[in-house]
Amino acid sequence: MKEAKRILFIAFDHLNGDYGVMKQANPETDVVLLVESARMASVTRFHKDRLFFLLSSARHFAKEQEAKGFQVEYLKASDTAAGITLAKDKYGNLPVLAAQPSSFKQSQQLKAVGVEFVENNFFLTPRELFADWAGAQKTFVMENFYRLQRKRLGLLMDGDKPVGGQWNFDHDNRLPPPKNYSWPERLEHQRDELDLEVLEELGHEPSSTWATTRAGALKQLDHFLDNHLAGFGPYEDAVTDDDWSLHHSLLSPYLNNGLLHASEVVAAVIERFDKGMAPMQSVEGFIRQLIGWREYINGMYWFLGEDYRELNGLQATRKLLPLFTDSSKTKMACVKSAVQDVEKRAWTHHIPRLMILSNLALITGTNPQQFLEWMRTQFIDAAEWVMVPNIIGMGVHADSGRLMTKPYAAGGAYINRMTSHCKGCAYDPKKRVGDDSCPFTTLYWDFLDRHKEEFKKNHRMSQQVNGLTRLSDLTDLRVRAQQVLEGLDSGAV
Ligand SMILES: Cc1cc2nc3c(=O)[nH]c(=O)nc-3n(C[C@H](O)[C@H](O)[C@H](O)COP(=O)(O)OP(=O)(O)OC[C@H]3O[C@@H](n4cnc5c(N)ncnc54)[C@H](O)[C@@H]3O)c2cc1C
Ligand code: SF4
C-alpha cells in the first residue's frame, strides 16, 4: 500500500498528464482526484453531447492515470467542494493541490476548501504577462497583441519581420462559400465501452463527432493537418449548407478540456508549413486563431475582472427568443441552420456564432446574461473564460465597447454574401420593410435607430448611424421592426 502525501485535484478542463498539477505528479505519493458534481451532471441544463464529452473524457482520463500507477479517486458529489471535502476526510486532511482554475468562480470555490494552486500552464501566455500588456493599452486591439505573440514565441518570423512580409492575410481569407467544391470527409470517432456506459447513464444516443480521449484528440489533429490546414484560410469566414464544418479544425473542445495543448498544435502546424505542405495564407490564419484570439480572450477574461460578465451597457431586456432553444420556431434559414447545428452536435463555427446567433441577440436587444447562459450550456467547447469575453464583449457589445470598439451588428447583406442560406429563405435579404423583408436587415437599421444617440459618440459607428438619414422609409421600418420583434418572441418569424 502506497503512503499518500498529497491530493492532486484535476478539474474537468485540466485533463492532461503533463500540464498543470500533473506536471510534477508522483504515483508513489500522490492521489489523483476528480469530482463529478451533481450540479454539472444535471442533464437538463446542458446539451447532452457536451455533458457526454465532459464526463466521458474525465472518466477516460481517470482510467489512464490509474493505468500509469496513480491511486485515483473519481468521486460523485453534490458539488466540487463537497467532493474535495470527502477526499480530505478519507485521506486524513492531506494538502490538496490544483492548477489555478480557469474561472473566477471555481477559484473561489477551491480556495474556500483550502486548495493550494500551482501555475495554470494550459495557455501559452502567463496571466501576469498578459495583464502587463493589457495594462499598457488604451484600446485592446487583438492585432497588436498577436504581433507581440508572433515575436515573443518566434513563430513565422524572419528576424523581427513577419515571414512573407505581411503580418496578416485576413484580406485574402474572407472568401464566400465556393461553388462545386468537395469538402473532405470528416473523422468519425468510435465509441468504446466507457463511452457507451456514460451514454446510457445520460439516456443519449451515441454520435461519432467528438473524441473523448487524448488518442482521439491527436487523431483529430492529424486529420485536420492532413485534410484541412492547407485550405483553412480562404474559407474560414464562409458558411455553407453543403458542409457544417468546412475546413475548421474541430479542435476547440480538446484544447479547452486539456486533452490537447496549444503548443503541440502550433508546433505541428508550423512543421507542415516548414515542409511546404500548407500555404502561408492558411497557416497564418490558423496560427492567428490560436496564439492570437484564444490567448487574447483568456487574458482579457482575467484582465476585465469578475463583474464583467454581468454588464448590460445597451440595457437589453428581451427574454431569450424561443428559436434559440427550438429551431422549429423560426423561418429564417440562416438562424434555423445554425441552431440545428447546435442541436445536432453542440458546435457551429465562429461566423454563425458571431454574425448569426450573437448578431440576432444583439439587434433584438436580448438580455446578454440569458444569451450567455444559453451558449454556455449548449456548446461543446464552452467555458466561462472563453464565453464571457466572446459574448459580453464581442458578440452583444454589452460592455459598451471595452473589448471591441464597435458592435458586430450586420444586416442581411453580409449574411447573403458569406453564406449560401438566403437563396432558400422565406425572407429577402435586400428588403427592410414588407412582409418578406429580412429580419436581420430590418432589425439592423432599427438597432442603429434605437441606439443612435450613444453610437453617434463613437467615431467608428458614425458612418453607419448617418446611413439612417438616407432611409426614406424609416417610419415604416420602425413599424415592421416591432412586428418582427413580436414575431420572434412568439416563434412565428
Ligand atoms: C460568440 C462567440 C462565442 C464563442 N464561444 C466559444 C467557446 O465557448 N469556446 C471556444 O473555444 N471558442 C469559442 N468561440 C471562438 C470560436 O468560434 C471557436 O473557438 C471555434 O469555432 C471552434 O471551432 P474550431 O476548433 O474548429 O476552430 P478553428 O476555426 O479551427 O480555430 C482554431 C482554434 O482557434 C481558437 N479560437 C479562434 N477564435 C477564438 C476566440 N474568439 N476565442 C477563443 N478561441 C478562439 C480555438 O481554440 C479554435 O479551436 C466563440 C466565438 C464567438 C464569436
Ligand atoms: S434572408 Fe435574412 S433571414 Fe433569410 S437567410 Fe438571408 S439573412 Fe437569414
CB 389 within 8 A of CB 403: yes
Taking all residues of the chain, what is their mean pLDDT, rounded to a whole number? 96
Report CA 421 to chain centroid distance, whole Å.
23
Q: Which atom of ligand 1 is nearest to the CA of 391?
A: 1
397 — phi, psi (to 5°)? 55, 35
The average pLDDT across 423-443 equals 97
DSSP for 378-425?
H-TT--HHHHHIIIIIIIT-TTTTSSSSS-----HHHHHHHBS-GGG-
Give every CB contact of residue 30 below 8 A, 6+ residues apart in sequence. 4, 5, 6, 7, 8, 70, 71
Q: How many CB atoms lie within 10 A of CB 75?
A: 16
From the CA of 397, which ligand is nearest?
1
For a mutational test of ligand 2's pocket, the pick from 359, 432, 438, i.e. the residue with the most ligand atoms closer than 8 A to its C-beta, is 438
Q: How does DSSP classify residue 72?
A: E
Q: What is the pLDDT of residues 343-379, one digit of tens each?
A: 999 999 999 999 999 999 999 999 999 999 999 999 9
From the CA of 294, which ligand is nearest?
1
The average pLDDT across 56-61 equals 98
State the cell numbers at 183. Answer: 469538402
| 113 or 41, which is more confident | 113
What integer pLDDT is reported at residue 40 of this predicted model?
79
Q: What is the pLDDT of residues 75-105, one digit of tens each?
A: 999 999 999 999 999 998 899 999 999 999 9
Local confidence band at 410 (pLDDT 50, 70, 90 cut-offs): very high
For ligand 2, residues with CB inside 6 Å are 332-334, 412, 415-416, 421-422, 425, 427, 429, 438-440
Give every CB contact of residue 376 below 8 A, 6+ residues apart in sequence. 382, 384, 387
Report the SS3 class of residue 146: helix
The C-alpha angle with vertex 392 and arms to 337 and 385, in degrees rounded to 5, equals 95
What integer pLDDT is reported at residue 172 of this predicted model?
86
Q: What is the pLDDT of residues 232-291, one digit of tens each?
A: 999 999 999 999 999 999 999 999 999 999 999 999 999 999 999 999 999 999 999 999
As a whole number of angstroms, the distance between CA 387 and CA 419 comes to: 24
Give every CB contact of residue 198 below 8 A, 6+ residues apart in sequence. 52, 55, 56, 59
Element (H, E) at 8: strand 6-9
Q: What is the pLDDT of residues 21-38, one digit of tens each?
A: 999 999 999 999 999 998
The average pLDDT across 454-459 equals 90
Smallest CA separation from ligand 2 atom 5, residue:
422
Q: What is the pLDDT of residues 466-478, one digit of tens each?
A: 999 999 999 999 9
* pTM score: 0.97
Q: Is 377 in the pocket of ligand 1 (CB under 6 A)?
A: no
CA distances (Å), origin 384, targets 56, 134, 180, 377, 410: 20, 20, 39, 10, 26
Local confidence band at 170 (pLDDT 50, 70, 90 cut-offs): confident
Q: Is the pLDDT of residue 43 over 70?
A: no
Give me ligand 1 centre to Cα 449, in Å: 31
Share of the chain above pLDDT 70, in %: 100
Q: Is 349 in the pocket of ligand 1 (CB under 6 A)?
A: yes
The average pLDDT across 194-203 equals 95
Element (H, E) at 76: strand 71-77
Give me ligand 1 centre to Cα 252, in Å: 6
Lowest mean pLDDT among 41-45, 145-149, 322-326, 447-451: 41-45
